[in-house]
Structure 1
Amino acid sequence: MPMNRFHQRFCRSSGWSRHVENSLLPWVLDGVDLGAHVLEVGPGYGVTTRLLQDRVPELTALEIDPALAARLREHTAASTATSASASGSVEVVEGDGTAMPFADEAFSGAVCFTMLHHVQSEPLQDKLFAEVDRVLRPGGVFAGSDSRVSAMFRLIHLYDTMVVVDPDTLTTRLEKAGFEDVEVSTSERALRFKARKPST
Protein backbone atom coordinates (compact mmCIF):
# COMPACT_ATOMS: atom_id res chain seq x y z
CA MET A 1 0.00 0.00 0.00
CA PRO A 2 1.46 3.43 -0.96
CA MET A 3 2.24 5.97 1.76
CA ASN A 4 -0.12 8.88 2.32
CA ARG A 5 1.08 12.32 1.27
CA PHE A 6 1.94 13.48 4.77
CA HIS A 7 4.05 10.38 5.30
CA GLN A 8 5.82 10.95 1.98
CA ARG A 9 6.66 14.54 2.92
CA PHE A 10 7.86 13.45 6.36
CA CYS A 11 10.22 10.83 4.91
CA ARG A 12 11.74 13.45 2.58
CA SER A 13 11.99 16.17 5.22
CA SER A 14 15.21 17.75 6.46
CA GLY A 15 14.13 17.04 10.04
CA TRP A 16 13.90 13.31 9.39
CA SER A 17 17.25 13.37 7.58
CA ARG A 18 18.91 15.06 10.55
CA HIS A 19 17.37 12.56 12.96
CA VAL A 20 18.60 9.62 10.89
CA GLU A 21 22.10 11.03 10.52
CA ASN A 22 22.60 12.25 14.08
CA SER A 23 20.60 9.74 16.12
CA LEU A 24 19.12 6.70 14.39
CA LEU A 25 22.01 5.44 12.27
CA PRO A 26 24.67 5.87 14.99
CA TRP A 27 22.39 4.14 17.52
CA VAL A 28 21.63 1.16 15.30
CA LEU A 29 25.16 0.68 13.98
CA ASP A 30 27.01 1.22 17.27
CA GLY A 31 29.58 -1.58 17.49
CA VAL A 32 28.29 -3.29 14.32
CA ASP A 33 30.76 -4.56 11.70
CA LEU A 34 28.90 -5.08 8.43
CA GLY A 35 31.88 -5.99 6.28
CA ALA A 36 32.63 -4.84 2.75
CA HIS A 37 29.48 -5.73 0.77
CA VAL A 38 26.28 -4.67 2.49
CA LEU A 39 22.63 -5.15 1.59
CA GLU A 40 20.09 -2.50 2.56
CA VAL A 41 16.49 -3.72 2.44
CA GLY A 42 13.75 -1.16 1.80
CA PRO A 43 15.66 2.13 1.49
CA GLY A 44 12.58 4.11 0.44
CA TYR A 45 13.60 7.70 -0.26
CA GLY A 46 17.24 6.84 0.42
CA VAL A 47 18.21 8.92 3.45
CA THR A 48 19.99 5.93 5.00
CA THR A 49 21.45 4.85 1.65
CA ARG A 50 23.27 8.14 1.18
CA LEU A 51 24.72 7.90 4.68
CA LEU A 52 25.69 4.24 4.32
CA GLN A 53 27.49 5.04 1.08
CA ASP A 54 30.14 6.84 3.13
CA ARG A 55 30.50 3.91 5.56
CA VAL A 56 30.82 0.80 3.40
CA PRO A 57 32.84 0.04 0.26
CA GLU A 58 30.00 -1.68 -1.61
CA LEU A 59 26.28 -1.21 -0.98
CA THR A 60 23.31 -2.87 -2.66
CA ALA A 61 19.90 -1.29 -1.97
CA LEU A 62 16.82 -3.44 -2.59
CA GLU A 63 13.62 -1.42 -3.09
CA ILE A 64 10.22 -2.88 -4.00
CA ASP A 65 8.62 0.36 -5.26
CA PRO A 66 9.62 0.94 -8.91
CA ALA A 67 9.34 4.72 -8.71
CA LEU A 68 11.38 4.94 -5.52
CA ALA A 69 14.00 2.55 -6.93
CA ALA A 70 14.35 4.68 -10.06
CA ARG A 71 14.52 7.88 -8.01
CA LEU A 72 17.16 6.46 -5.70
CA ARG A 73 19.19 5.14 -8.63
CA GLU A 74 19.27 8.63 -10.17
CA HIS A 75 20.15 10.33 -6.88
CA THR A 76 22.95 7.94 -5.95
CA ALA A 77 24.44 8.16 -9.44
CA ALA A 78 24.37 11.96 -9.28
CA SER A 79 25.87 11.95 -5.78
CA THR A 80 28.70 9.65 -6.81
CA ALA A 81 29.46 11.80 -9.87
CA THR A 82 29.52 15.13 -8.03
CA SER A 83 30.65 14.43 -4.46
CA ALA A 84 34.18 13.59 -3.39
CA SER A 85 32.82 12.36 -0.03
CA ALA A 86 30.77 9.52 -1.55
CA SER A 87 33.41 6.87 -1.04
CA GLY A 88 31.43 3.66 -1.63
CA SER A 89 29.68 2.23 -4.67
CA VAL A 90 25.89 1.81 -4.67
CA GLU A 91 23.75 -0.50 -6.77
CA VAL A 92 19.98 -0.02 -6.55
CA VAL A 93 17.95 -3.14 -7.35
CA GLU A 94 14.18 -3.24 -7.75
CA GLY A 95 12.84 -6.27 -5.94
CA ASP A 96 10.89 -7.80 -3.07
CA GLY A 97 12.55 -8.37 0.30
CA THR A 98 10.47 -11.52 0.80
CA ALA A 99 11.83 -13.07 -2.43
CA MET A 100 15.25 -11.51 -2.99
CA PRO A 101 16.84 -11.69 -6.45
CA PHE A 102 20.27 -12.56 -5.03
CA ALA A 103 22.37 -15.68 -4.72
CA ASP A 104 22.90 -17.44 -1.41
CA GLU A 105 25.65 -15.94 0.77
CA ALA A 106 26.06 -12.87 -1.47
CA PHE A 107 26.54 -10.25 1.27
CA SER A 108 28.80 -9.69 4.26
CA GLY A 109 26.15 -7.73 6.18
CA ALA A 110 22.57 -6.50 5.91
CA VAL A 111 20.52 -3.63 7.31
CA CYS A 112 16.99 -2.28 7.28
CA PHE A 113 15.86 0.98 8.85
CA THR A 114 12.30 1.85 9.89
CA MET A 115 10.71 -0.18 7.11
CA LEU A 116 9.54 -3.46 8.64
CA HIS A 117 6.15 -2.02 9.62
CA HIS A 118 5.51 -1.41 5.90
CA VAL A 119 5.63 -5.17 5.21
CA GLN A 120 2.02 -6.27 4.93
CA SER A 121 1.92 -9.05 7.55
CA GLU A 122 3.97 -10.70 10.27
CA PRO A 123 4.44 -13.90 8.21
CA LEU A 124 5.84 -11.79 5.36
CA GLN A 125 8.17 -10.03 7.81
CA ASP A 126 9.37 -13.47 8.91
CA LYS A 127 9.89 -14.44 5.27
CA LEU A 128 12.01 -11.30 4.83
CA PHE A 129 14.11 -12.31 7.86
CA ALA A 130 14.64 -15.76 6.35
CA GLU A 131 15.65 -14.24 3.03
CA VAL A 132 18.21 -12.00 4.74
CA ASP A 133 19.62 -15.07 6.45
CA ARG A 134 19.84 -16.86 3.10
CA VAL A 135 21.76 -14.10 1.31
CA LEU A 136 24.17 -13.43 4.19
CA ARG A 137 27.55 -15.11 4.35
CA PRO A 138 28.26 -17.25 7.44
CA GLY A 139 29.08 -14.93 10.34
CA GLY A 140 27.37 -11.98 8.64
CA VAL A 141 25.47 -9.43 10.73
CA PHE A 142 21.89 -8.26 10.22
CA ALA A 143 21.10 -4.96 11.98
CA GLY A 144 18.17 -2.63 11.84
CA SER A 145 15.48 -0.55 13.45
CA ASP A 146 11.76 0.04 13.44
CA SER A 147 9.36 2.46 15.05
CA ARG A 148 7.27 1.85 18.16
CA VAL A 149 3.61 2.78 18.39
CA SER A 150 2.61 6.29 19.42
CA ALA A 151 -0.22 8.66 18.59
CA MET A 152 1.96 10.51 16.07
CA PHE A 153 3.10 7.22 14.50
CA ARG A 154 -0.52 6.19 14.00
CA LEU A 155 -1.36 9.57 12.49
CA ILE A 156 1.55 9.46 10.05
CA HIS A 157 0.42 5.99 8.94
CA LEU A 158 -3.26 6.80 8.46
CA TYR A 159 -4.42 4.67 5.48
CA ASP A 160 -0.87 3.23 5.20
CA THR A 161 0.35 -0.28 5.89
CA MET A 162 1.34 -0.43 9.58
CA VAL A 163 2.31 -3.86 10.93
CA VAL A 164 4.14 -2.99 14.13
CA VAL A 165 7.05 -5.20 15.22
CA ASP A 166 6.80 -6.34 18.84
CA PRO A 167 10.25 -6.06 20.45
CA ASP A 168 9.29 -8.75 22.97
CA THR A 169 8.90 -11.39 20.26
CA LEU A 170 11.54 -10.22 17.79
CA THR A 171 14.39 -12.26 19.26
CA THR A 172 12.45 -15.50 18.85
CA ARG A 173 11.39 -14.58 15.33
CA LEU A 174 14.95 -13.86 14.24
CA GLU A 175 16.19 -17.07 15.80
CA LYS A 176 13.53 -19.04 13.91
CA ALA A 177 14.80 -17.40 10.71
CA GLY A 178 18.24 -18.86 11.42
CA PHE A 179 20.05 -16.14 13.35
CA GLU A 180 21.96 -16.34 16.62
CA ASP A 181 23.43 -13.82 19.10
CA VAL A 182 20.27 -11.74 18.73
CA GLU A 183 20.13 -8.45 20.64
CA VAL A 184 17.02 -6.26 20.77
CA SER A 185 16.75 -2.97 22.65
CA THR A 186 14.32 -0.07 22.68
CA SER A 187 14.10 3.65 23.12
CA GLU A 188 10.91 5.63 23.68
CA ARG A 189 10.07 5.71 19.98
CA ALA A 190 12.11 2.98 18.30
CA LEU A 191 13.60 -0.47 18.56
CA ARG A 192 16.95 -1.67 17.27
CA PHE A 193 18.26 -5.16 16.71
CA LYS A 194 21.33 -7.00 15.58
CA ALA A 195 21.78 -10.69 14.89
CA ARG A 196 24.38 -12.94 13.34
CA LYS A 197 24.19 -15.78 10.86
CA PRO A 198 25.98 -18.79 12.34
CA SER A 199 29.54 -19.23 11.11
CA THR A 200 29.08 -22.94 10.48
Structure 2
Amino acid sequence: MVEPNLWRVLEPLAPTLVYQRGSMIYWQGDMADRLYYLKRGKIRIFLASVDGAEHTLRIQQTGSVFGEAAFFDGGPRMSSARALEKSEIIAIPRDVLLDSLQREPGLAMAMMRALSARVRMLSSQVDSMAFLQADRRLARFLAESAPVIQCSHEELGERIGASRITITRAVQKLQQRGWIQPQYRAIRIFDPVALLDYANGETK
Protein backbone atom coordinates (compact mmCIF):
# COMPACT_ATOMS: atom_id res chain seq x y z
CA MET A 1 0.00 0.00 0.00
CA VAL A 2 1.06 3.58 -0.66
CA GLU A 3 0.71 5.84 2.38
CA PRO A 4 -2.58 7.83 2.17
CA ASN A 5 -0.82 11.23 2.13
CA LEU A 6 1.29 10.18 -0.86
CA TRP A 7 -1.49 9.27 -3.30
CA ARG A 8 -2.06 13.00 -3.78
CA VAL A 9 1.48 13.18 -5.16
CA LEU A 10 0.77 10.35 -7.60
CA GLU A 11 -2.62 11.51 -8.84
CA PRO A 12 -1.54 14.66 -10.76
CA LEU A 13 1.17 12.74 -12.61
CA ALA A 14 -1.25 11.24 -15.14
CA PRO A 15 -4.99 11.20 -15.95
CA THR A 16 -7.27 8.70 -14.22
CA LEU A 17 -8.31 5.81 -16.45
CA VAL A 18 -11.46 3.76 -15.87
CA TYR A 19 -11.43 0.01 -16.52
CA GLN A 20 -14.63 -2.02 -16.49
CA ARG A 21 -14.81 -5.46 -14.90
CA GLY A 22 -12.93 -7.98 -17.04
CA SER A 23 -10.86 -5.38 -18.88
CA MET A 24 -7.14 -6.03 -19.30
CA ILE A 25 -4.69 -3.44 -17.99
CA TYR A 26 -1.65 -5.14 -19.49
CA TRP A 27 -0.57 -8.53 -20.82
CA GLN A 28 2.34 -10.75 -19.94
CA GLY A 29 5.15 -9.87 -22.37
CA ASP A 30 4.10 -6.24 -22.88
CA MET A 31 6.83 -3.64 -22.50
CA ALA A 32 6.67 -2.06 -19.04
CA ASP A 33 6.56 1.66 -19.75
CA ARG A 34 4.09 2.61 -17.02
CA LEU A 35 3.61 2.09 -13.30
CA TYR A 36 0.03 1.78 -12.04
CA TYR A 37 -1.60 3.28 -8.98
CA LEU A 38 -4.99 1.77 -8.11
CA LYS A 39 -7.07 4.72 -7.00
CA ARG A 40 -10.21 2.62 -6.60
CA GLY A 41 -11.18 -0.97 -7.40
CA LYS A 42 -9.64 -4.43 -7.48
CA ILE A 43 -7.09 -5.89 -9.91
CA ARG A 44 -6.05 -9.51 -10.41
CA ILE A 45 -2.37 -10.11 -11.20
CA PHE A 46 -1.83 -13.51 -12.83
CA LEU A 47 0.46 -15.70 -14.92
CA ALA A 48 -0.80 -17.37 -18.09
CA SER A 49 0.70 -20.60 -19.47
CA VAL A 50 0.98 -21.45 -23.17
CA ASP A 51 -2.11 -23.68 -22.88
CA GLY A 52 -4.20 -20.82 -21.51
CA ALA A 53 -4.20 -21.84 -17.84
CA GLU A 54 -4.02 -18.93 -15.41
CA HIS A 55 -2.44 -18.77 -11.94
CA THR A 56 -3.32 -15.87 -9.66
CA LEU A 57 -0.32 -14.21 -8.02
CA ARG A 58 -2.15 -11.62 -5.96
CA ILE A 59 -5.18 -9.33 -5.81
CA GLN A 60 -4.42 -5.60 -5.77
CA GLN A 61 -6.72 -3.53 -3.58
CA THR A 62 -7.53 0.19 -3.54
CA GLY A 63 -4.50 2.31 -2.65
CA SER A 64 -1.81 -0.03 -3.96
CA VAL A 65 0.74 0.22 -6.75
CA PHE A 66 1.42 -2.57 -9.23
CA GLY A 67 3.47 -3.26 -12.31
CA GLU A 68 6.55 -1.90 -10.58
CA ALA A 69 9.04 -4.78 -10.95
CA ALA A 70 9.31 -4.79 -14.73
CA PHE A 71 8.82 -1.01 -14.77
CA PHE A 72 12.01 -0.39 -12.83
CA ASP A 73 14.22 -2.97 -14.56
CA GLY A 74 12.99 -2.03 -18.05
CA GLY A 75 12.09 -5.59 -19.05
CA PRO A 76 8.84 -7.03 -20.41
CA ARG A 77 5.87 -7.71 -18.14
CA MET A 78 6.21 -11.06 -16.36
CA SER A 79 2.51 -11.20 -15.49
CA SER A 80 -0.88 -9.92 -16.68
CA ALA A 81 -3.37 -7.63 -14.93
CA ARG A 82 -7.17 -7.69 -15.24
CA ALA A 83 -9.86 -5.63 -13.49
CA LEU A 84 -12.06 -7.72 -11.18
CA GLU A 85 -14.50 -4.83 -10.83
CA LYS A 86 -14.87 -1.31 -12.17
CA SER A 87 -11.55 0.30 -11.30
CA GLU A 88 -9.95 3.74 -11.48
CA ILE A 89 -6.25 3.59 -12.29
CA ILE A 90 -3.50 6.15 -12.74
CA ALA A 91 -0.98 4.90 -15.32
CA ILE A 92 2.21 6.87 -14.78
CA PRO A 93 4.78 7.01 -17.63
CA ARG A 94 8.36 6.06 -16.76
CA ASP A 95 9.96 9.47 -17.38
CA VAL A 96 7.26 11.29 -15.42
CA LEU A 97 7.57 9.01 -12.39
CA LEU A 98 11.38 9.00 -12.35
CA ASP A 99 11.37 12.79 -12.34
CA SER A 100 8.86 12.82 -9.49
CA LEU A 101 10.90 10.32 -7.45
CA GLN A 102 13.89 12.65 -7.62
CA ARG A 103 11.81 15.58 -6.39
CA GLU A 104 9.83 13.65 -3.73
CA PRO A 105 12.09 11.62 -1.38
CA GLY A 106 9.06 10.43 0.56
CA LEU A 107 7.55 8.95 -2.58
CA ALA A 108 10.83 7.19 -3.40
CA MET A 109 10.91 5.64 0.09
CA ALA A 110 7.29 4.52 -0.27
CA MET A 111 8.14 2.78 -3.55
CA MET A 112 11.09 1.05 -1.88
CA ARG A 113 8.84 -0.17 0.92
CA ALA A 114 6.30 -1.43 -1.61
CA LEU A 115 9.00 -3.39 -3.45
CA SER A 116 10.38 -4.81 -0.19
CA ALA A 117 6.91 -5.92 0.89
CA ARG A 118 6.38 -7.59 -2.48
CA VAL A 119 9.65 -9.53 -2.15
CA ARG A 120 8.71 -10.70 1.36
CA MET A 121 5.28 -11.80 0.17
CA LEU A 122 6.70 -13.77 -2.77
CA SER A 123 9.33 -15.41 -0.54
CA SER A 124 6.62 -16.45 1.91
CA GLN A 125 4.50 -17.88 -0.92
CA VAL A 126 7.44 -19.90 -2.27
CA ASP A 127 8.23 -21.30 1.19
CA SER A 128 4.60 -22.21 1.80
CA MET A 129 4.17 -23.90 -1.58
CA ALA A 130 7.28 -25.98 -0.98
CA PHE A 131 6.86 -27.13 2.60
CA LEU A 132 3.37 -26.63 4.07
CA GLN A 133 0.18 -28.66 3.77
CA ALA A 134 -2.71 -26.87 2.07
CA ASP A 135 -4.55 -25.93 5.28
CA ARG A 136 -1.38 -24.48 6.79
CA ARG A 137 -0.58 -22.62 3.56
CA LEU A 138 -4.07 -21.16 3.70
CA ALA A 139 -3.64 -20.23 7.36
CA ARG A 140 -0.44 -18.32 6.58
CA PHE A 141 -1.98 -16.57 3.60
CA LEU A 142 -5.06 -15.51 5.58
CA ALA A 143 -2.96 -14.28 8.50
CA GLU A 144 -1.02 -12.05 6.13
CA SER A 145 -4.29 -10.79 4.60
CA ALA A 146 -5.99 -9.72 7.86
CA PRO A 147 -8.45 -8.29 8.70
CA VAL A 148 -10.45 -9.30 5.60
CA ILE A 149 -9.73 -10.67 2.14
CA GLN A 150 -12.18 -10.49 -0.75
CA CYS A 151 -11.56 -13.66 -2.69
CA SER A 152 -13.51 -16.73 -3.82
CA HIS A 153 -12.47 -20.27 -2.87
CA GLU A 154 -11.34 -20.83 -6.44
CA GLU A 155 -9.15 -17.72 -6.34
CA LEU A 156 -7.71 -18.78 -2.99
CA GLY A 157 -6.84 -22.14 -4.49
CA GLU A 158 -5.00 -20.44 -7.34
CA ARG A 159 -3.10 -18.31 -4.85
CA ILE A 160 -1.80 -21.15 -2.69
CA GLY A 161 -1.76 -24.01 -5.19
CA ALA A 162 -4.72 -26.12 -4.05
CA SER A 163 -8.05 -27.28 -5.47
CA ARG A 164 -11.31 -25.50 -4.65
CA ILE A 165 -12.54 -28.56 -2.72
CA THR A 166 -9.36 -28.59 -0.62
CA ILE A 167 -9.78 -24.89 0.11
CA THR A 168 -13.41 -25.38 1.16
CA ARG A 169 -12.40 -28.09 3.64
CA ALA A 170 -9.52 -26.01 4.99
CA VAL A 171 -11.76 -22.96 5.42
CA GLN A 172 -14.29 -25.05 7.36
CA LYS A 173 -11.51 -26.36 9.60
CA LEU A 174 -10.20 -22.89 10.40
CA GLN A 175 -13.72 -21.56 10.89
CA GLN A 176 -14.49 -24.29 13.43
CA ARG A 177 -11.55 -23.06 15.48
CA GLY A 178 -13.04 -19.56 15.53
CA TRP A 179 -10.16 -17.94 13.69
CA ILE A 180 -12.04 -16.87 10.55
CA GLN A 181 -15.56 -16.26 9.29
CA PRO A 182 -16.42 -16.94 5.62
CA GLN A 183 -18.61 -14.35 3.92
CA TYR A 184 -19.83 -13.92 0.36
CA ARG A 185 -16.66 -14.02 -1.76
CA ALA A 186 -14.68 -12.94 1.28
CA ILE A 187 -13.19 -14.19 4.53
CA ARG A 188 -12.92 -12.14 7.72
CA ILE A 189 -9.88 -12.94 9.84
CA PHE A 190 -10.40 -12.77 13.61
CA ASP A 191 -7.11 -14.19 14.94
CA PRO A 192 -4.09 -13.79 12.64
CA VAL A 193 -1.72 -14.76 15.47
CA ALA A 194 -3.44 -18.13 15.92
CA LEU A 195 -3.38 -18.67 12.16
CA LEU A 196 0.37 -18.01 12.03
CA ASP A 197 0.97 -20.34 14.98
CA TYR A 198 -0.97 -23.03 13.15
CA ALA A 199 0.89 -22.39 9.89
CA ASN A 200 4.21 -22.66 11.73
CA GLY A 201 3.21 -25.96 13.34
CA GLU A 202 3.03 -24.55 16.86
CA THR A 203 -0.56 -25.77 17.24
CA LYS A 204 -2.29 -28.83 15.79
Whose helix proportion is higher, 1 or 2? 2
Larger radius of gyration between Structure 1 and Structure 2: 2
TM-score range, shorter chain: 0.3 to 0.5
State TM-score, norm by structure 2.
0.33
Scaled by the length of structure 1, the TM-score of the pair is 0.33
